[in-house]
Amino acid sequence: MRKPYSLKILWHGRNRFLPAILAVSFSAVLIAVQSGVLLGTLAVTSRPIDHAAAQIWIGIRDMPSIELGHPIPEAWMFRLQAQPEVEDVEGYLYEFAYWHKPGGGSEHCCIIGARLEGSSMGAVNDLTPQMRTLLTEPGAIVVDATDLDRLGLKHGVGESAEIMGQKVRVVGLVHGFKSIWGPYVFCSMETARRLLTMYGADQYQYILAQCRSSADVPAVVERLQRRYPEMSVLSDRDFSVQTRLYWLTRTRIGVALGLTSILALIVGLVITSQTLYAATAASLREYAVLRALGLPRWRISTLVVSQSFWIGLGGVSASVPAALLLGRFAGFVGAEIQLPIWLLAATIAITMTIALVSGLLALRSLRLVEPANLLR
């Protein structure tokens, strides 16, 4: 197969073009990893929803995110139970509290109280049957393994601390729930009620439901929302997305990461564009001969833009494995970088676009191509 002229030019001048390829690669890695960090961080905010079996979440009106709920009356359960498609209904507590470390000092924590039986809709599926059995004991809790230090604990299991003045004891550890605002504390509904005394016996923060068929969920949600405007009724998927979007848009969590990515893109754009400009400017006489021979200007422009395409391709080819490796490394040190296929595809698309724009910017050097200049 014949190699395109643009690829031959790039290979022959690889030393000249290497900085551009590295700049593009650096941009792509930074975009992918920054976005991956953002996705990983946002995913933790909605993980209690994503790892629970509930299909419908009911809370106070206009709740923007899972941690911004308010106590709601238990009586709302009847509204769900009255729906023919609904199979099961249960309450759910999610509230912030003070954690008093065994060695002194305190920390915010987030208590999640749910029913623990096998059919529970609120308990996250990371809680093993053994943990769920242990959690039935009063004061028993499970925390994330990476939060132990923050909670003032050494080994976790078997250690005790206090929440709101009540003694709690760690009976198990989960992974992947390292919260950004305060460690998650998983417990039974009974333990949660004992710790969260501000909740009345007939109050929950959320009411969860499951339908006999998941296909019925949208209709039930729509019907309940229309009939009871004082409630927020959301499918688990919508609630999860809404929670993540809240953290993305209402906080500055995405702004800093976004700005860094834009900066990386600009660096890639400038370096690639200038490299191509210089390379093209160095070949003006060769291009001028082609113009003298009547070869159309667009052919020469395509030759330059094609070089930017190969630079982009070289850059992203190096960046994807690098980003995946960084993601793997981050996992080892307890951070979470999510790199789904769509994110990698979007990164490749953005980076290739930037590379091609660089090529288009470099075309300004072709204005200097003038066949008459070849006459001496």
The least distance separating other proteins from the CB of residue 341, rounded to whole angstroms, comes to 36
Q: Answer yes or no whether residue 375 interacts with other proteins by CB under 8 A.
A: yes
- State which residue, 188 or 306, has the beta carbon closest to other proteins: 306
* Interacting residues with other proteins between 281 and 320 (CB under 8 A): 283, 285-286, 288-296, 299
What are the two backbone dihedrals, phi and then psi, of residue 69, each rounded to the nearest 5 degrees?
A: -85, 175
Helix 5-12 × helix 14-50 angle, to 10°? 100
SS3 15: helix
- Is 18 a residue that touches other proteins (CB under 8 A)? no
- Among 165, 173, 151, smallest CA distance to 194 is for 165
Q: Nearer Cβ to other proteins, position 4 or 71?
A: 4
The C-alpha atoms of residue 183 and residue 163 are separated, in whole angstroms, by 12
Is 363 a binder of other proteins (CB under 8 A)? no
Q: Which of 226/376 has CB closer to other proteins?
A: 376
Six token digits for residue 33: 């990893």
H/E stretch holding 362: helix 341-362
Residue 325, CA atoms < 13 Å, CB-side half-sphere:
6
Rounded Cα distance between 32 and 343, Å, is 7
Residue-wise DSSP of 191-205: HHHHH-TTS-TTEES
Taking CB under 8 A as the binding criterion, the range among 10-18, 115-123, 188-196, 245-253 that sits at the site for other proteins is 10-18
Stretch of residues binding other proteins (CB under 8 A), selected from 8-16, 236-244, 249-257, 309-317: 8-16
Nearer to other proteins, 259 or 289 (CB): 289
Taking the least distance from each CB to other proteins, the nearer of 260 and 301 is 301
- What is the binding site for other proteins (CB under 8 A)? 5, 8-9, 11-13, 283, 285-286, 288-296, 299, 371-372, 374-376
